[in-house]
Structure 1
Amino acid sequence: MAEKGIAEAVQAYTGLSPAAAVTILALMLATYLLVSSLFVAPDAASPALAAPLNPPQQRQEQQEEPGAFMPYPDPVQVGEITLEQLAAYDGKDPAKPILIAIRGQVYDVSRGRLFYGPQGPYSLFAGRDATRALALMSFDPIDLTGDLEGLGPDELEVLQDWEDKFKERYPTVGHLASENATDGNHSGA
């Protein structure tokens, strides 16, 4: 009798048959689990996914502390770095962090490897000065520069929004070395 009462309550509350309500609930749970797994560190989601992302010495260090959850290695301060040095942190070497410069500040975006890593939608920005490209919301390699010349208030506001998001989400690990010449023609080929 209690089962019949529950079935009637489900139908009265949702307007659906109990089978349809359970099916929708199961689909919602599956969707939640799928989406939330996108925001979990790879080594927490599956040991198989962690293997290509962590160098062997890091995996050994993690095994030394059983049960310790280490989603990302501590950011390494790079201090003053040139554009040429920054290019080495493009995500292609899994032993190195992924770095992006905005307005001269260098951010470690390694925790966003799915976005900035080699197959990510924003991999173009990795290891580069993305200041102008972010201001213009551009994926054109010619815009991968720190040159702000010719940008209007709207573009500078967009850039400020991006910079605020980076400051919120990613640690600052250094700054770009000052250059005597304007970097406006740097295409980063």
Structure 2
Amino acid sequence: MVAQGIADAVQAYTGLSPAAAATILALMLATYLLVSSLFVAPAPVSVPPKPPQQEQQEEEKEQEEAVPFVFPEPVQMGEVTLEQLRAYDGKDPAKQILIAIRGQVYDVSRGRLFYGPQGPYSLFAGRDATRALALMSFDHNDLTGDLEGLSPDDLEVLQDWEEKFKERYPRVGHLACQNAADSSQNADQLDHEEENA
């Protein structure tokens, strides 16, 4: 009689049959348990203690692995010719990666991911990238120090690049030939030699 009274009360309150109300209640409880289990931290796993010698070896190994890569100190190059600059294009991992902007040579080795052989700016490595950066160009013909014909906007873009390089990378030298005509002539000669090689 009590069970019949509960069944009648459930049907009157919910408008559902007692079986449907019980099924919905069970599904709600299961959903609650499932969702709440996603936010509970798992119980800690007990690990048997290790022998002291093995524990010490593992600590030493972790310390060796935790040592970050330290970039070598930049080497001051002094006066650099375009031909000498070409040897620092990132293809030799033992050498620095150098880029020239407005006659100043910067060591961009810390940016190897960008300027190294597989990087998106590898074209600029080992070259005078002045005009290319001003024009935001990846054209080989723009890899020169020639500023002739650049608009004030282009020169402003170049100035922004130069400021970024000054902030991020050490200056390690300067180009030997700062005359734009000499610079573009040497770049053309180097490109011709590279194509013949």
TM-score norm. by structure 2 comes to: 0.60
How far apart are the structure 1 equivalents of 2:132 and 2:36? Answer: 52
1:147–1:182 CA contact under 8 A, matched in 2: no
Code of the residue aligned with 1:115 in structure 2: it is: F
Deviations 1:126-181 (CA, angstroms, capped at 9, x unpaired): 00000000000000000000000000100000000000000000000000002565
Equivalent residue for 1:93? 92
Q: What RMSD in Å do the two structures reach over aligned CA positions?
A: 2.4
Number of equivalent positions = 130
Structure 1 residue 83 corresponds to structure 2 residue 78:
no
Q: Compute the displacement of 1:70 (Å).
A: 4.8
Q: Percent same amino acid at aligned positions?
A: 74
Higher helix share: 2
Equivalent residue for 2:132? 133
Rg larger in 1 or in 2? 2
Q: Which runs of 5+ in 1 are unaligned?
A: 1-16, 23-62
Q: Compute the displacement of 1:67 (Å).
A: 7.4
Equivalent residue for 1:149? 148
Equivalent residue for 1:184? 184
TM-score norm. by structure 1 comes to: 0.63
Structure 1 residue 158 corresponds to structure 2 residue 151:
no
How far apart are the structure 1 equivalents of 2:124 and 2:104? Answer: 14
2:123–2:138 CA contact under 8 A, matched in 1: yes
Q: Which runs of 5+ in 2 are unaligned?
A: 1-34, 40-63, 192-197
How far apart are the structure 1 equivalents of 2:37 and 2:158? Answer: 50
How far apart are the structure 1 equivalents of 2:178 and 2:167? Answer: 27
Code of the residue aligned with 1:122 in structure 2: it is: Y
